[in-house]
Amino acid sequence: MVDFIGIERIQELLARRGAARFIEELAREIETDYLRWGEFEKSARHASHSPVGVIELMPASDGRLYAFKYVNGHPKNTAVGLLTVTAFGVLADVETGYPLLLSELTLTTALRTAATSALAARRMARPGSRAMALIGNGAQSEFQAIAFHHLLGIRELRLYDTDPAATEKLMRNLARLRLPGLTVLRCGSTAAAVAGVDIVTTVTADKRNATILTEGMIAPGMHLNAVGGDCPGKTELDAGILRRADARVVVEFEPQSRIEGEIQQLPADFPVTELTEVLAGRAPGRASSREVTIFDSVGFALEDFSALRYLMRIHQEERGGERQIDLVPDLEDPKDLFGLLLAGEPLASAAPERVRA
C-alpha cells in the first residue's frame, strides 16, 4: 500500500496547520535541502511543448529518496473553466524502487513556490522591506501574499492585473484572511503599483515574451521576485533590467534557468548566482542597499522533493494518515505476478475452451 494525499487530505492538513505555518515549515525544509545541494542528482525538467502550453516532468534524488512531479502550464485553460497549472507527484524509496507517496501537487506547488520566493527574499531584499507590489493576481497570488506577510513582514500590498476580476478575487480572499497589519491597495497600472515599493513580485501566466516590468520602473534597492517566466519564450522582465550595472541575478538551477528563466534573453555567459550559494553564505544576496536584486525563479525539482518529503511526514503524523491506495501489488511470491489474475473466480470462469483440431 502507498500513502495517498488527495485534494481533501491536503485541505485537512492546511486547515490544521494554517497556510502561514505550512509555508514557513516548508521553507525550512527547502532551505535544508538547498544546503545539501551536492548530495542531489539534478537535471533540468523534461518538457513537452505545444502551441497552447507545456507538460513537464521534474525529477530529483538524493540517493535515498527519489521524487518526480508531473506538471502542466496552459494559460488559456481559464477561458474554459480549467486551471492553468495542475500537478501531482511521487516520492519513492531508491533502495527498492517502491513508491512511498502519491500526492496532489497543484495546491502544494503554489505553496512551495511562495515558500521559495520568501526564502530567497529574506537574503536578497533590503532589511526592513515593508511594501510589495504584486503584479498578476491569479491562482498563485494569495500564496505569495501570505508568505511575504508572514516571513518578511510585508505590511503594504499593491495589486495590479490586466484582469480586474482577478484583482477583485484576490482582495476578497485577503479580506477573509484578515492578515494582521496588512494594507491592500488596488492600483490602475503596473507603474503605479511598483512606485516606491521595496519588493516587486511578478506572477503572470501568458506564454509569451511579455514585458511586465520596464527598466524605467525599477528604483535602486528594489528586490524583484520574478515568478511567472518559467518556460522557453515566456518572460516578464525587460532584458535591460537584468543588464543593469547595479543588478544581481540569482537562479535556482542555472542549466534550467538558461532555458526557461528571464536569463534566456541574455548570452550564455551572462553571470548569475545559484540560490544554494546565497543560502550557504558563499555569495551575498545583496551587496548594498542600492543594488537591484532579481530572483529569476522558474521552480526546481529539489523544491518538489522537499515538499513531498514534508507532506509524507505530516500526513503520517496527523490523524487520518492511514489513507493509502493499492498502487503496487502485494504478492506472497514476488515471481508470480500472474497469480494476481488467477485469484479472482471471474477470470478463471471466463477462460476460453481449448479448440480441438
Q: Kindly report the number of other CB atoms within 10 A of residue 95's CB atom.
A: 9
Q: Kindly report the number of other CB atoms within 10 A of residue 188's CB atom.
A: 9
C-alpha dist (Å) from residue 253 to 43, 132, 299 = 9, 25, 9
Q: Kindly report the number of other CB atoms within 10 A of residue 169's CB atom.
A: 17
Q: Note whether 47 and 71 are within 8 A (CB).
A: no
317: its cell numbers: 503524523
Q: Which amino acid is at 248?
A: R
What three-state secondary structure class fits 100? strand
Residue 306 CA to its chain's centroid (Å): 11
Q: Note whether 119 and 30 are within 8 A (CB).
A: yes
CB neighbour list of residue 208: distance below 8 Å, 6 or more residues apart: 233, 234
By C-alpha distance, which of 38, 106, 103 is closest to 71?
Answer: 106
Max alpha carbon distance in the chain (Å)? 91
CB hemisphere CA count around 235 (13 angstroms): 23
Q: Which amino acid is at 141?
A: S
Enzyme catalytic residues: 230
CA distance 278 to 285: 6
